[in-house]
Structure 1
């Protein structure tokens, strides 16, 4: 059985680029718990708050419930659910999952495969991360679910995985003249830029192309905040700051809150700005709630 292919082809709602990472998040959480206790079960009532937190942090902006993946992941053959009544999920209703003592864990065949090949766990995790989340969030997401991974395995799943274009970074940084489009940071060590990254506006995991008009040159801080939905791009190509962001320190105000309403820096004349389709995808699928009012100059 090809467990990597199963992980890559989890059945998820995926219409018009809609993000639905519920199953990958639960799967990653289960892998993290498996590392600590290979025989343990995840009782829904005990892990519900953890899963709610993951969905709030890494899921789509709209509200959702962890009961959905807890029930539906069973249909992908990688997860099993038992209740006080016996094997099988009682459904996706929160009340039923709680009342019946529903508990889930990785499917028996998958647990057996992981015992035979411990390195499989890391490869599964990297497939789930790569196909549902941008690289800027991988490390902190692993920490959030308690996963400890070895250095990245090279896993070729063609035609499941597209290959990234390694030239995108240089093309995007050149288009933005090696400065962060949000704050203008332009640090370098000698002739080498440091702390500058090429961010996908529409995530590569959701068919975002490796094109300049789907990229932004961002400093490391603002890249992370952009992928978390704290920052976004407005209709006038200005910086949006989520009204949910709270930062009381002078540093938070200077580096985040004060960006609200500022025009993007770049790209240079002749380079393509962020395409409306990609900006719209980020606004709907990543940016959190409404924007804060523009900050007075």
Structure 2
């Protein structure tokens, strides 16, 4: 009986082990079968994920091409008009003017205008220099070293957007002129010929106007303008713009006007005084004699 119980226990243990082994195999197979589809989905998901990346790369490439066609608006590529003015007091105006001319020529520029005044011991010169924009700052510094710098003013104007707009309008207008010429070549009646000639002439005039504006801006941006005022030690410089506002400004203006009026009146009196002396004294003597004669009593016979 004891042997039979032991045999049953052993058989039950073997059966349980076989069952457990079978379950483990099934779970392993099912896990493997479930993992394979998951990997397949991951691969397909990866493939789908790569496609947008490629599309983005293509879009980025297109964006790069578009940016390359757009105007370059970096600071060093912008269209800027430089203008400046400087007042320098020098020992000799003629020598300093010659030196300023040499500075402009060495920088690749030229003299736009040259106005000089001399007399009463005070010499002045007013020069307008056209200087390449790249040499603007260095030329201003060189001019300041000609003597004692009294005033300096620098102004800049960014016209990049205007230049870009002009380029676009010129391109469109050029295409309009070409299309008008093509239509003109195909005109079959006299009326059409006259109308198209008038239209082409109008379009060409508009194109010429736009091109003239473009050349003007190109000149202003490529060549900066510097106004140089040279004063000798005895010359009076430009009056500073620091007049008091309001009532004080009116009072100062009225006082200046009064002094000017008194100066004019004194000039007129000085001019009339010799005539008053030459004519007034004899006339006064005659009037006095006449009055005295009338006051004398009449004599009786």
Higher strand proportion: 2
Category of TM-score, reference length = shorter chain: under 0.3
TM-score by length of 2: 0.20
Which structure has the bigger radius of gyration? 2
Higher helix proportion: 2
Which one scores higher on RCO, CA 8 angstroms, separation ≥ 6? 2
TM-score by length of 1: 0.20
